[in-house]
Amino acid sequence: MFRPFKGDPDELARLVQDVIDAMQELHLKRLIFMVAMGIYNEIPASVCVQDNVDNNPAQIHNLRAAKVIEASSLDYTFLRPGFLIPGPDSVVITHRGENVSGNTTTISSVGAVAVQLVTGNLQASRDSFGLNQPTTKKI
């Protein structure tokens, strides 16, 4: 059952601004930040549009936080996973402006992408990654 977000929609944005201020004070530039799939209305009808920000007010705090980071000078990468599930590392990465092909992501996949970003094996400057499981065809 859908439950409307009852918290302060700016709380996460204020927290993010505090993080940005602290990073700037310490001369840190790199931020990897996890928000939620749906903040850019990238979930198509074939998957589940109810989780897009236009249909789900609970997403507004994620979108507002992302906008604060995007307006900063930080070298950021957003990770936008779908519903987190257990399972093997297997992920499809989409970028802002691209529709996702599913709305689930394994926890291990999020960790694997984060490790690749931290180690420099995956480059993404001022980018936003939608993370979801590869689709499997049902016969």
pTM of the complete model beyond 0.85: yes
Residue pair 58/6 in contact by the 8 Å Cβ criterion? no
Task: Report phi then psi at 127, rounded to 5.
Answer: -130, 170
Q: How far apart are the first and last CA of the chain?
A: 30
Quickly list DSSP for 61-128. Answer: HHHHHHHHHHTSS-EEEEEEE-EEE---S--EEEETTS--S-SEEEHHHHHHHHHHHHHTSS--SSEE
Closest CA to 131 of 60, 83, 63, 97: 83
**How would you write the pLDDT of the chain (139 residues) with one tens digit per residue?**
344 556 788 999 999 999 999 999 999 999 999 999 999 999 999 998 999 999 999 999 999 999 999 999 999 999 999 999 999 999 999 999 999 999 999 999 999 999 999 999 999 999 999 999 987 655 5
pLDDT at res. 137: 54
pLDDT at res. 135: 76
Angstrom distance (rounded) from CA 136 to CA 139: 10
CB atoms under 10 Å from CB of 53, counted, come to 20
